[in-house]
Amino acid sequence: MRLSLSAILRPDLPVEVWWVIAVNTAMQVIFNFVGIFVNLYWWTQGSPIFQVSLFNLLGTIALFLSYLVGSHYLYKRDIRFVMLLSAVFAGVTFVALFFYFPHWRDWFTAGVGFSFGLTQGFFWAANNSSMYTFLKSEQYADYFSVNTVVSQVIAVAIPLVSAGIVGLAGFKISFLLMLVFVVAALVVSLRLPHRGIEENLFRHRARDIFSKPGTGWVMAVVMSSGLINQFLALFSMIYIFTVSNNVGVVALLNIAYSLVMLGALVLYRRSLWSQDTWLVIGIGLILGSFVMAFTLGHTDWNTVVVLLMRVGGLYLSGASGRQRYRVIMQGDVLWRTRFGLWMEIPFALSRTTILMGALFVRQLADRPFLLLTILSGLAMVGLPVFTRLAVRRFESVHGVGAGL
């Protein structure tokens, strides 16, 4: 039976799921813009590594807090309310950026970072809950395929368009124009149904959550993954900025990396290699980037360093994440949501550890940077060990190959 083009591009999903996809699209545009151009904006304000690290540190702290608060309001209110909070704080972020005063640089950096962190935390609380609430298991593939296509389009289009706007009109005007997507997110969020969680997510005992096999080791996996991914996210971005702080060059580099990542993702999905093999490949590529960063020491090679970091991070996250997902999916929806709250703890601790250490980095390859590299390297050594222990505990109860 042949499928029409419209059926491929627009699978049969409930209307409320399409509203979720629509608000996801608006917020992904915002996240992509902030991830590249707001970080670049702070980079150009002086004390570049410190400003970028401070912005992301306050964002991580706020993300953790707002995820907890948003999870509480999923029970007290509903998904629509939490998603609206996310859009409101996105608006606050861009308004604050527009009125930035250089004399209060550190305070503005911290405040804007905190506001953007609230945006992310409320969004992910609502988004994760909407998946469990609106979607049936057989609709997951269509939902993720649509989101993947949208994400790839955004990863290519937004840097290119944004670079043109910033180059022609400056950062300030681009911040105001982003309010268009904030308004779009607000309007679409109002179309979401009034649905929430039927039970208080915080009313449970820890031993009930961790009674399922492998869950304790999953926390160690999340901690290790957080250390590695935050290091790669922060310093791959900084390495790009050391190549050039021209908005056009930065945008083109990000587009090129997105296209390479898409090819790497296709190779990963079509390959018959085991997840353990991909985990080793990911670790090897990241270690290769570390070796290049410390031995070559020239900005001409920084583009290659970033390439190895990002592709290695993709394979590492994909392989370890798939194994972790097997353990998480053994419980019902409410248990998974509650376990997700517990996973936020090592996630936040690992990210803040890297970002707090980055505040002391003055230049790449100095002592604080070396210590952070060693820490993330140790996390890479521990990640496959912790992943294997979690999977073995899980398979000892559910059987080898369960959940694949």
Is the distance from CB of 224 to CB of 376 less than 8 angstroms? no
What is the predicted pLDDT for the residue at 332? 77
- Say yes or no: 320 and 341 in one domain: yes
Q: Looking at the structure, do residues 168 and 301 belong to the same domain, yes or no? A: no
Residues 271-275 have a mean pLDDT of: 84
Lowest mean pLDDT, pick from 108-112, 210-214, 350-354: 210-214
The three-state (H, E, C) secondary structure of 138-189, written as one string: HHHHHHHHHHHHHHHHHHHHHHHHHHHHHHHHCHHHHHHHCHHHHHHHHHHH
Tell me, yes or no, whether 105 lies in a domain: yes
Task: Give the model's pLDDT for residue 5.
Answer: 44
Q: Kindly state the percentage of the chain with pLDDT values over 90.
A: 52
Distance CA 293, CA 364 (A): 9
103 and 133 in a single domain? The answer is yes
Q: Would residue 109 count as lying in a domain?
A: yes
Q: What pTM value is reported for the model?
A: 0.88
- Give yes or no: residues 240 and 351 share one domain: yes
Q: Please provide the DSSP assignment of 45-92 as one string.
A: TSSHHHHHHHHHHHHHHHHHHHHHHHHHHHHHS-HHHHHHHHHHHHHH
Q: Around Cβ 159, how many Cβ atoms within 10 Å?
A: 26
DSSP 36: I
Of 104, 96, 110, which is closest to residue 56 (Cα–Cα)? 110
pLDDT in tens, 161-191: 999 999 999 999 999 999 999 999 999 999 9
Q: What is the pLDDT of residue 400?
A: 76
User: CATH no. for residue 217?
Assistant: 1.20.1250
Residue 293 lies in a domain: yes
The answer to whether residue 341 scores a pLDDT higher than 90 is no
Q: Which two three-digit tokens encode residue 43?
A: 């980079």
pLDDT for 330 equals 80
Nearest one of 186, 128, 157, 150 to 11, comparing CA atoms: 150
Give the domain range for residue 242: 205-399
**Does 2 score more than 60 pLDDT?**
no
Q: Are 172 and 54 in contact (CB under 8 A)?
A: no
pLDDT band for position 376 (50/70/90)?
Answer: very high
Same domain, 249 and 184: no
What is the total count of domains within the chain? 2
**Mean pLDDT, range 61-75, rounded to an integer:** 92
Question: Do 209 and 189 fall within a single domain?
Answer: no
In contact, 314 and 228? CB cutoff 8 Å: no
Residue of 9 and 134 predicted with greater confidence: 134
Residue 355 shares a structural domain with residue 227 = yes
Per the model's pLDDT, the better-predicted residue between 232 and 10 turns out to be: 232
The answer to whether residue 51 sits within a structural domain is yes
